[in-house]
Amino acid sequence: MLEAATMAIDNLLVPTRLMYLFIGVLMGLALGAIPGLGGLVGLAILLPFTFDMDSFEAFAIMIGLISVTSTSDTIPSVLFGVPGTSASQATILDGHPMAKKGEAGRAFGGAYMASLLGGLFGSLILALSIPVLRPIVLAFGSPEFFMLGLLGISMVAVLSGNAPVKGLIAGAIGLCVGMVGMDPQTGVLRWVFGQLYLWDGVPLVPVALGIFAIPEIVDLTIRGTRIADVPKERLQGVLIGIRDTFRNWFLVLRCGVVGVFVGAIPGLGASVVDWFAYGHAIQTEKGANETFGTGDVRGVLAPEAANNAKEGGALIPTIAFGVPGSASMALLLGAMTIQGLTPGSAMLTKDLAVTYTMIWSLAIANIFGTVACMLLTNTLAKIAMVRINLLTPLVVVIVVLASFQATRHWGDLWSLLFFSLLGWFMKRFSWPRPPLILGLVLSGIIENYLFISISRYGATWMLRPIVMIVMVLIAVSLYYGIRNARKQQELQKSREAQIEHEQSGGADEA
């Protein structure tokens, strides 16, 4: 373990790889400061450029990007009351009131330092988990990994909003898209419709760009306005916020634990981690019920520590079991596929140096990101002043070139167009998109493990203890996900009926 960790840091400290890491950090900071984009779009754009990189360079730039979007997304949350990403929603509750009171610098100082400590804590937990996970993963066989793949899709599906059935359908569509092309076991062509382009399957890159990047750009372009104006005065009080972080070190540590735990649960991740931490702070901090929501710095420290720690937690199931902790991790799995890496036992044995490279990249990227944010906050804030209409042509050109880079075939552009339309309609009609891309990423792994399981064990593979436990987990997650969705729908209908009744009663009285 120690030898692999030392080898990884030696590999990462090569100047070109550090340069890639720093480029990823700068991209992540810029994307986090623009509300509505975030790391998912950046990863989708970066994915095709990893073809010509080695594993260390590829994961350095990608980990660098996703590590710091939760650091710079504090800027629009505090200054404008607009979340930069879904992981910074709770930061608004106290961060924006602090800015209104002239304490924006203090909020930023606390947020940046809490983000740094949370990110380093997540890296530490990820590193410490490897010796524990290694014997567990090595005890798993093809049946267990097949069931874990299904568990990942089911968890992401049922936790992607109030429509778990839509999430399951989207995951199934992703599996079907992944089965296009030549059967790896029999060589039979499936759903290629006479197109040579489809013989090797649908490339991941055009699908990811079409499903995630283009719909977000189109949505922002339709709105077409700048987010807000940046305050003219310099942001003061950063050092006070840093001291606040160390005065409340135990709160930051606890929220770091919350972030790692939530990040490690597939399907939860960014959408809820800040609320979990914020709720924990309200329940445990003295006087929080009276001061939270009015500009209490502790209300900034809690979510910011958690949302940076979540990346270390999300990498644990992604690397060890091939079950992504979030949509970003699904794209990271795609990068593993491009690099010829297989999640699971291989990442904890022969490719252990690559795994430790991710850990070191996560830690160093958080340091780079925090220092850069402290130096460039005013500059990054001005990004939000640019009208998205001016950025759209540049972003679309990059997306098209990135898509064509996948296989350098004109079919990539048709795939991009098709999946862009599909992604737009899914966004427009509230269909969750992460399950689709996850189904595509895991389809080859799931099919391969299923074939091996049946060939080696026959039907008895379903009677293995871990397989049966995972089956129960899938059934329980689907049951509670669908039941909670129905309860929320019934509650929404009752609220609408009550509002309609009150309005009609008021009209009768008039």
SS3 181: strand
Q: What are phi and psi of 191, to 5 degrees?
A: 55, 40
| Stated pTM of the model | 0.66
The DSSP symbol for 459 reads G
Cβ atoms 366, 116 nearer than 8 A: yes
Residue 234 is predicted with a pLDDT of 45
Contacts of 457 (CB under 8 A, 6+ apart): 143, 464
DSSP for 342-396, written as a single string: -TTGGGGTTTHHHHHHHHHHHHHHHHHHHHHHHHHHHHHHHGGGS-HHHHHHHHH
Cβ atoms 47, 334 nearer than 8 A: yes
What letter represents residue 190's amino acid? R
95: exposed, middle or buried (C-beta count within 10 Å: 0-12, 13-18, 19+)?
buried
Instruction: Single out the residue of 233, 246, 3 nearest to residue 103, CA to CA.
Output: 233
Residue 228 is predicted with a pLDDT of 43
Cβ atoms 476, 159 nearer than 8 A: no
Given the structure tokens 């914020």, which residue do they identify? 278
298-321 vs 91-100: helix crossing angle, rounded to 10: 150
> How many CA atoms lie less than 13 Å away from 6 in the CB half-sphere?
3
- 190: part of which helix (H) or strand (E)? strand 189-190
Residue 487, token pair as written in the block:
């309860």
Cβ atoms 170, 436 nearer than 8 A: yes
Buried b (16+ CB within 10 A) or exposed e, 343-381: bbbebbeebbbbbbbbbbbbbbbbebbbebbbebbeebb
- Other Cβ atoms within 10 Å of 454 Cβ, number: 14
Cα–Cα distance for residue pair 153/320, rounded to 1 Å: 16
DSSP for 272-324, written as a single string: HHHHHHHHHHHHHSTTHHHHTTSS-THHHHHHHHHHHHHHHHHHHHHHHHS--
H helices of 139-223, in order, are 142-158, 164-178, 204-208, 214-223
Instruction: Single out the residue of 415, 401, 348 nearest to residue 4, CA to CA.
Output: 348
Residue 408 is predicted with a pLDDT of 74
Cα–Cα distance for residue pair 9/23, rounded to 1 Å: 18
Cβ atoms 89, 391 nearer than 8 A: no
The DSSP symbol for 159 reads T
Cβ atoms 456, 244 nearer than 8 A: no
CA 410 to chain centre: 30
201: exposed, middle or buried (C-beta count within 10 Å: 0-12, 13-18, 19+)?
buried
Cβ atoms 32, 69 nearer than 8 A: yes
SS3 489: helix
Residue 368 is predicted with a pLDDT of 87
What letter represents residue 281's amino acid? A
Residue 507 is predicted with a pLDDT of 54
Contacts of 56 (CB under 8 A, 6+ apart): 11, 12, 14, 17, 354, 357
Residue 181, strand partner residues: 190
Instruction: Single out the residue of 445, 450, 476, 473 nearest to residue 462, CA to CA.
Output: 450
The DSSP symbol for 268 reads -
Residue 265, token pair as written in the block:
């649960």
Which H, E and C letters describe 24-68, residue by residue?
Answer: HHHHHHHHHHCCCCCHHHHHHHHHHHHCCCCHHHHHHHHHHHHHH
Residue 89 is predicted with a pLDDT of 67
Averages of pLDDT over each 10 residues, the chain, 510 residues: 70 82 86 68 78 82 84 76 65 80 82 89 84 74 82 67 77 89 83 85 81 76 56 61 89 87 65 74 79 83 86 82 73 81 78 84 88 75 62 77 74 89 88 80 82 88 89 83 76 75 60
Residue 272 is predicted with a pLDDT of 63
